[in-house]
A and B are shown apart, each in its own frame.
Chain A
Amino acid sequence: MQHFDGNLLAGPLAEVFAFDPTTARARCNGCGAVAELATALVYRSGAGSVARCRGCGAVLLSLVEGDGRRFVNFTGTGAIEITTAGRDDA
């Protein structure tokens, strides 16, 4: 199978990662609920922020920021549905 390097994804992913996280919907790997990320329960520890599923409490994602660096881990989500404003693929 032919494969390409990650640069091929640069265009589409740059578009996708510019999404509005308040309207994006994610599937919880813990309980399967699909909900807007804005409804998650966010805890702020000294080390970083953790968003948990409002339904089951499982970790959806973590965000670490410090010393000018950022790490995000969508560890507990399945697919994330991103609404792209002003676009109609239908």
Chain B
Amino acid sequence: MSFITRGFTGRSRERDDRLPPGQTLVHDFPVLSAGPTPEVDTADWEFTIRTEHGGRRWSWDEFMQLEIEDVTTDIHCVTHWSKLGTNWRGVSLDTLFAEVETEYDYVMAHSYGGYTTNVPLEELLGGRAWVAFEFDGEPLDPEHGGPARLLVPHLYFWKSAKWVRGLELMPTDDPGFWEQNGYHLHGDPWKEERYW
């Protein structure tokens, strides 16, 4: 796979300190996925947060009325590629959770197509996670997770669930899809939390 080595700077040059250990830079954006790409029309799209008390639901139009943020961030894939300074637009999860009450500490993200991934609630708050619907100034392609994907750039990119449709609050940190199948429950690239 050529993208593994592309962008490798060699030993003679200083390593970019934005790169976590074991990562190399890429300039393209590899698209590969664990299933067929779901076709979700924004007219049918909805986003829900489910809690022990019920929850909250937004249609696409309601979602677009929320405060929208521009985000520039580095992303790190567990397969050793990183991409620096990527540009996204989306709604901060702080904005969404401002309307939600829960005592639970963990979140399972659910996607159209059935994918799941788990993240502690604390790590979705504090300006560290978004539901993103634009990449590089364009609506997010279905291949990249459109209409909307989760963006949790401080964790490995499998946590940034494509085609996200909702968050389910949980009392315990249950594993999502890849976390059941070999990947680390948490996934911090700076600690190289790749596998069990």
**Hey, which bits of chain A sit against chain B, CB under 8 A?**
43-48, 50, 52, 57, 59, 62, 64, 66-67, 69, 71, 73, 75
Contacts and interface: CB of A to CB of B under 8 A. Distances in A.
The 6 closest A-B pairs by CB, nearest first: A71-B182, A64-B182, A62-B181, A45-B34, A50-B34, A46-B79
Given A46-B77, A46-B79, A73-B181, A66 B195 contact: yes
Contacts of A46: 30, 32, 77-79, 157-158
B36 interface: yes
Contacts of B79: 46-47, 66
B78 A47 contact: yes
B60 interface: no
B25 to A, nearest CB: 15
B158 A47 contact: yes
27 contacts: A43-B32, A43-B35, A43-B36, A45-B32, A46-B78, A46-B79, A47-B79, A48-B181, A57-B36, A59-B35, A59-B114, A62-B181, A64-B178, A64-B183, A66-B78, A66-B79, A66-B194, A67-B195, A69-B182, A69-B195, A71-B181, A71-B195, A71-B196, A73-B180, A73-B182, A75-B180, A75-B181
B35 A52 contact: yes
Chain B interface size range: 20 to 34
Contacts of A64: 178, 181-183, 195
A57 B158 CA distance: 21
Interface of B: 30, 32-36, 77-79, 114, 157-158, 177-178, 180-183, 194-196
Nearest to B79: A46
B143 to A, nearest CB: 12
A74 to B, nearest CB: 11
Nearest to B158: A47
Nearest to B196: A71
Contacts of B158: 46-47
A48 B158 CA distance: 11
B180 A57 contact: no
A47 B36 contact: no
Contacts of A43: 32-36
A67 B33 contact: no
Contact of B183 (A47, A52, A59, A75): A47
Nearest to B22: A67
Given A44-B32, A59-B34, 5 more contacts: A46-B79, A64-B182, A69-B182, A71-B181, A73-B181
